[in-house]
Chains A and B, each alone.
Chain A
Amino acid sequence: MNRRIWRRTRSGLMVGLVGLAVVLALVPLGLILGHLLVKGAGSLDWAFFTRGPAPTGVEGGGVVHAIVGTLIIVGVASLMGLPVGIAAGIYCAEYPGTRLATATRFVADVMNGTPSIVVGVFAWTWIVAPQKHFSAFAGSVALAFLMVPMVLRTTEEMIKLVPHSLREAALALGYPRWRTSLAVVVRTTLPGIVTGSLLAVARIAGETAPLLFTALGSQFLSTRIDQPMAALPLVVFNYAIGPFEEWHRLAWATALVLILVVLVLSVAARIATRGRFTLRG
């Protein structure tokens, strides 16, 4: 009798304990978002979005150079990374038994686990070193490299969900295979592919490490892809480790903007497919 009570109590206790783990795990999320809002929201004014950085020691200034920089770097990265990732994903789903599909899928998993700083070193050795100057393009290449495996796997997973009967119906109507793939299979999964792409964009938009010695950062509004360029994550990093209060204020505000971009993209993408994806890569 006593033993049964003890076992029941222990069970209840442990359930309470794992419940507590949930609360503990959610605390950092709340704190981070809360601090970003409290410390960052006050600085988001018109000047913040329209001005470049003020001279060191002067109050004010904005991050328009970094906003433009991030748009360009991420845009160019998407132009390179998305088509390759999506096409390779379609290949893996449409010809699943082939040796190439197995190899590509495995390599994509390896790439997914590659630290982004290593990809930065790769882009430096490949592009920056021969050209002998830092460039936004090298940053885009590094980010594109990170996008490919993410988009590849989501595309493949989405296409696998298409029922065989749909494909067979198209083929039975006399569609050639390539039109079946494009007009029926890919088209049905288009929302899913778009979602996967959005998630990938959201993830790389916040990447800092691959840009440190490729895009490098810049104090000026620049649109030249072959030159160093500012980006939001780089601004957060440089201002956060800098010595001035004013910089810290701007770092919080910039981080808030960055996280809003990332969260809006990921949450929108996630809601669109109702939980078919996880946010991790």
Chain B
Amino acid sequence: MATSTLPERAPAPAPALPLQQRHVGDRVFRLLLTLAAVAVPVLLAFLVLELWLGSRAAIERFGFDFVTSSTWDPVAERFGALPLVVGTLVSSFLALLIAVPLSLGVAIFLTEFAPGWLRQPVAFLIELLAAIPSVVYGLWGIFVLVPFLLRWVFPVLQDWLGFLPFFQGTIYGPSMFSASVILAIMVMPYVMSVSREVLLAVPPSQREAALALGATRWEAVMTAVVPYARSGIVGAVILGLGRALGETMAVTMLIGNRHDISASLFAPGYTMAAAIANEFAEAVADIHLAALSYVALLLFLVTVVVNALARLLIWRVARGVEGGRGA
């Protein structure tokens, strides 16, 4: 801090405390703050440790086969998480497939084309979506979204794209597709607001140069603004992926909860988070609990990697503009 450049003893009004005691105050203050700051990494380390201890029995028994086997039979005490892993990946990717074009469109519109008075209110409204609790999305999904999809969307998709294996077979209401749609709505505000921040960080000279060369407004955006912000936008998408992977309640309520891998997106599936949510409170066997903890540990590790990657990409773009603020 800049304080080190200041004289140790200020000549102004007599300090209330002698210098010696002031140092004591400083030390106590710093000690208290340090304790809190140390507590944060310690807590996280503790979380990893507890998850590992909780899942040790399952790790020892199933090892890495856990993620390649697809039998999930609590009675026979055989556990394989492949359907959960696949379900998590499929629902998240499908959600991003829907959410990313929309969020990028909104972000581009708000930073490049919207009139000034419209920008803040619209951004605020979309971020409001992020404030709605997951369980409320689930409720709305069960009673409004799923009936709507069943009536208007799924049959049409099957008619048009029925030649693809993803859209064949019996149509279920609670299904991989329903869960992905609700996930898309939930992830959208995150992708939107981060890509908006990244686009705002693109220097104006960038678009002015393109416009001066005779580009139309859209061409300026696509040739000068978006490429400049590319890695930040990728970061925003990956951040959205991190959110989608760990999202629990709404997915649990809409995905149908079946330990099964099926090609059809209209069939019920399962995700890692949903399996934990559904089975943890009811699991009685120790090995069942350990298997679920193992799933939690894997989910945690995946989200850490995904989030770290996203931060790195976003930080690279932001750094270019803000000149490396912070440490």
State A213–B243 Cα separation when bound (angstroms): 21
Is B81 on the interface with A (CB-CB < 8 A)?
Answer: no
User: Which of A24, A31, A88, A120 is the one whose CB lies under 8 Å from B33?
Assistant: A88
Interface pair B253/A237, CB less than 8 Å apart: yes
CB-CB contacts below 8 Å: A44-88 with B: 83-85, 87-88
For the residues of A in contact with B, the DSSP-based class is: helix
Against B, the Cβ 8 Å flags (1 = close, 0 = not) of A115-129 are 111111110111001
* Contact present for A280 and B120 (CB under 8 Å): no
Do B126 and A25 touch (CB < 8 A)?
A: yes
Q: For chain B, residues 1 to 45, give those with C-beta under 8 angstroms from any C-beta of chain A.
A: 1-3, 6, 10, 12-15, 17, 22-23, 25-26, 28-30, 32-41, 43-44
Given contacts A91-B33, A100-B38, A233-B133, A113 and B139 within 8 Å (CB-CB): no
Bound complex: CA A119 to CA B61 (Å): 24
Considering the chains assembled together, what is the distance between the CA atoms of A231 and B132 in angstroms? Answer: 16
In chain B, positions 252-298 with a C-beta closer than 8 Å to chain A are 253, 273, 276-277, 280-281, 292-293, 296
- B33 and A174 within 8 A (CB): no
A90 close to B33 (CB less than 8 A): yes
Interface residues of A in 152-208 (CB under 8 A from B): 152, 164, 167-168, 171-179, 181-182, 202-203, 205-208
Asked if B109 contacts A108 (CB within 8 A), the reply is no
Instruction: List B contacts of A212 (CB < 8 A).
Output: 277, 280-281
The contact of A206 among B38, B126, B133, by CB within 8 Å, is B133
Q: Does A149 contact B (CB under 8 A)?
A: yes
When chains A and B are docked, how far (Å) is the Cα of A266 from the Cα of B130? 11
B40 and A122 contacting across the interface, CB-CB below 8 Å: no
| Chain A residues within 8 Å of B142, by CB | 240-241
CB distance from A151 to the nearest CB of B (A): 11
Given contact pairs A173-B12, A212-B280, A275 touches B124 in the complex (Cβ within 8 A): yes
A126–B45 Cα distance when bound, in Å, is 13
The number of chain A residues touching the other chain, given as a range, is 35 or more
Cβ 8 A contact of B106, one of A21, A116, A202: A21
Contacts of A94 in B (CB 8 A): 1, 33
Tell whether A224 is near chain B: CB-to-CB under 8 Å. Answer: no
CB 8 Å contact bits of B226-243 with A (1 = contact, 0 = none)? 000000000000010011
Question: Does the CB pair B135–A233 fall under 8 Å?
Answer: yes
Cβ–Cβ < 8 Å partners of A87 in chain B: 32-33, 35-37
Tell me whether A176 and B25 are in contact (CB under 8 A): yes
Query: How far apart are the CA atoms of A87 and B43 in the complex, in Å?
Result: 15
With known contacts A35-B144, A259-B132, A259-B133, A213–B281 Cβ distance under 8 A? yes
Residue A32, interface by CB 8 Å = yes
A88–B40 CB distance below 8 A: yes
Contact of B44 among A26, A107, A209 (CB under 8 A): A107
The distance from the CB of A148 to the nearest CB of chain B, in whole angstroms, is: 6
A177 & B307 in contact (Cβ 8 Å cutoff): no
Residues of B within 8 A of A143 (CB): none
Whether the Cβ atoms of A32 and B133 lie closer than 8 Å is: no
CB contacts (< 8 Å) of B29 on chain A: these are: 177-178, 181-182
Q: A212-B280, A278-B127 are in contact. List 5 more A-B contacts (CB 8 A).
A: A35-B143, A117-B277, A167-B1, A202-B131, A209-B273
State the B residues within 8 Å of A (CB): 1-3, 6, 10, 12-15, 17, 22-23, 25-26, 28-30, 32-41, 43-44, 46-47, 50-51, 53-54, 101-106, 108-110, 113-114, 120, 122, 124-140, 142-144, 185, 188-190, 192-193, 216-219, 239, 242-243, 245-249, 253, 273, 276-277, 280-281, 292-293, 296, 299-300, 303-304, 306-308, 311, 326-327
A-B contact pairs, 8 of them (CB 8 A): A19-B113, A109-B311, A110-B44, A114-B300, A116-B248, A121-B280, A207-B133, A212-B281
Where the two chains meet, the residues of A that have a C-beta atom closer than 8 Å to any C-beta of B are: 7-8, 10-12, 14-15, 17-22, 24-26, 28-29, 31-32, 35-36, 39, 83-85, 87-88, 90-92, 94-97, 100-105, 107-122, 124-126, 129, 134, 145, 148-149, 152, 164, 167-168, 171-179, 181-182, 202-203, 205-209, 212-213, 216, 233, 236-237, 240-241, 248, 251-252, 255, 258-259, 262-263, 266, 270, 275, 278-280
Nearest 4 pairs between A and B by C-beta?
A115-B246, A206-B133, A21-B105, A178-B29
